[in-house]
Amino acid sequence: MFRANINKTRTRLVVSVVAFLLIVALGIFSVSWQTSQGLNNDAQERLGMAVQQVDMMLGNAKKAAKAVEPFLGKPCSQDVVLELRRQIAVVPNVRTINLATERGKNIYCTALFGPRNGVVDNNEYVNNQLLLMSGNEITPDHPLIAFRDLHGENSILIGVDGYYLHNILNLLSTHAQMTLQIGDQWMDAQGKVHKGIYSRHGEKIELSSEHYPYQVVTFIQHTSHWRYVLDYSPISLFLFPLLGLFVGFMTFMALARIGTPLAMMKAGMANHEFIPYVQPVVDGTQHQLTGCEVLMRWQHPQMGLIPPYQFIPLAEESGLIVDMTRQLMAQTRDIYAPLAQQLPDNFHFGFNICACHFKDLSLVEDCKDFLEAFKAKPINLVLELTERELIVPSDITDSLFKALRRLGVLIALDDFGTGHSSLTYLQKFHIDFLKIDQSFIGRIGTDALSGHIVDNVIDLAKRLDMVIVAEGIETQTQIDYLTPYHLDYLQGYFFGKPMPPEEFNRQWLSPKH
């Protein structure tokens, strides 16, 4: 037993620690997931803002191109150059404007130098529209985006100032660095232009413009993730371990209660582990089957068949016996109602009840349901009062006995002569059956005093016009002693032990009987 308690405590500790770790793990996962979602949503929002700002700058370049479109293909006169310079002055973010022929390959007019011959590689433009440059011949370290607006064989080349671009990236790079990617070149938040595809450790998030061929890219690194958690959710990281400790403690305490006999009985009821065992009752002369007593057994999945003396007292003390008896009656009804035609005439079923059953009228409904199941061939239902707990007369008790009487339910006084309330019950309640306790029957032939007690009980029962049942019959000597009294019923191991219904049916309800 000591070793079993140690093992049980160890199991409770292990399960409690697992519960603690599970809560902490779930908490950390929850905070981490919420943080990840927050960072992703924040990154998506900032990427959207960046794309919106860059689109606006490129939209300004497109406006400038639209304004100088009438001069495209015309000679690079002073008036044309002045108009190009005017657009640079009035349109935000525009740094240079050039006019070109042969699909932009040859530049022939610039806002800065006027007429000029220059060559541009068309293959460098992404989708023939954008080119990211680290600078030009005038400002070689000042990045810009070249925007090309094609018109047949001619084109307009607009330089968008990179200063504003990397300012946008820098301002929006709060939790993670943003870059502007155009083709195989990208600009960082410091305005540096690099060649290749931008890549870093972490989760990549990018957003492409719907109007122009570029993307804004960022990477959320794991260090940023947990730094964000520490900055914005420190209380959660503190609360979840506390919650885990609380859950672990409650689990430890709950497991202590789960292992109690009462908790095991409740679980047994839920699993229908309490089953009927049936003991035959025969008539006192021919010893033919006339009824049975239905007894309760606990078929535990691990411990096997548990005898009633190990659980009935606790069931009565806790009040569970009421529901357990209800289940027992329902099981018996379901087994024997289909076999009603095989039962002898006036067959009776006996069930033990106690004081707990007299606290409400639910017993009446249980008995009514049981009797109605045998309408095809009526039987007698006998309720056997046990004396382990005194039944206190009350209005409910009186109503209950009257209702049972109207249903035709018979009342038996079980184990007569062993309890302090036997004579009291005979005075206050209408008793139909009197069952002589087996402790007196068992000493017949060996104890003269027990024989005298049996004689007097039989005499009392006959004077009160009660049906007499002698229980505990085990020997022929006992039968010979009782035969002259012409008792109504006999019960005991001599005729049959309590047995499963299937076995009872084979022995007593087969054609040979």
What's the rounded mean pLDDT across residues 36-57?
85
Please indicate whether residue 275 or residue 199 has the higher confidence score (pLDDT).
275
How many domains does the chain divide into?
2
pLDDT of 421 over the 60 cut: no
Highest mean pLDDT pick, 97-106, 367-376, 441-450? 367-376
**In angstroms, rounded to a whole number, what is the distance separating the alpha carbons of residues 430 and 126?**
106
Tell me if 28 is assigned to some domain. no
Q: What single DSSP character describes residue 391?
A: P
Tell me if 5 is assigned to some domain. no
Q: What is the pLDDT of residues 309-327, one digit of tens each?
A: 889 988 988 889 999 999 9
Structure-token match 């005075």, residue found: 427
Q: Which domain holds residue 174?
A: 61-221
Domain-terminating residue out of 221, 252, 275: 221
**In angstroms, rounded to a whole number, what is the distance separating the alpha carbons of residues 98 and 253?**
82
Please indicate whether residue 56 or residue 171 has the higher confidence score (pLDDT).
56
pLDDT of 209 over the 50 cut: yes
- CATH label of the domain that carries residue 215: 3.30.450
What tokens does 353 get?
């009840």
pLDDT of 256 over the 60 cut: no
What's the rounded mean pLDDT across residues 85-99?
90
Tell me if 174 is assigned to some domain. yes
Mean pLDDT, rounded, of the chain: 84
Q: What is the per-residue pLDDT for 238?
A: 67
Tell me if 295 is assigned to some domain. no
pTM over 0.95: no
Same-domain pairing of 353 and 477: yes
Contact by Cβ (8 Å): 489, 454: no
Same-domain pairing of 67 and 214: yes
13 — pLDDT class (breaks 50, 70, 90): confident
Tell me if 439 is assigned to some domain. yes
Tell me if 237 is assigned to some domain. no
Q: What is the per-residue pLDDT for 418?
A: 60
DSSP one-letter string for 76-120: --HHHHHHHHHHHHHSTTEEEEEEEETTTTEEEEETTTEEEEEE-
| C-alpha dist (Å) from residue 217 to 43, 44, 208, 214 | 10, 10, 9, 10
Domain-terminating residue out of 173, 197, 221: 221
DSSP one-letter string for 159-217: EEEHHHHHHHHHHH-SSS-EEEEETTEEE-TTS-EEES----SSEEEEEE-SSSS-EEE
**In angstroms, rounded to a whole number, what is the distance separating the alpha carbons of residues 133 and 384?**
102
Domain-terminating residue out of 193, 221, 249: 221
Tell me if 487 is assigned to some domain. yes
What's the rounded mean pLDDT across residues 149-154?
86
Same-domain pairing of 199 and 333: no
Tell me if 448 is assigned to some domain. yes
Contact by Cβ (8 Å): 188, 179: yes
- CATH label of the domain that carries residue 444: 3.20.20.450
Q: Which helix (H) or strand (E) holds 132?
A: strand 130-133
Q: What is the per-residue pLDDT for 242?
A: 78
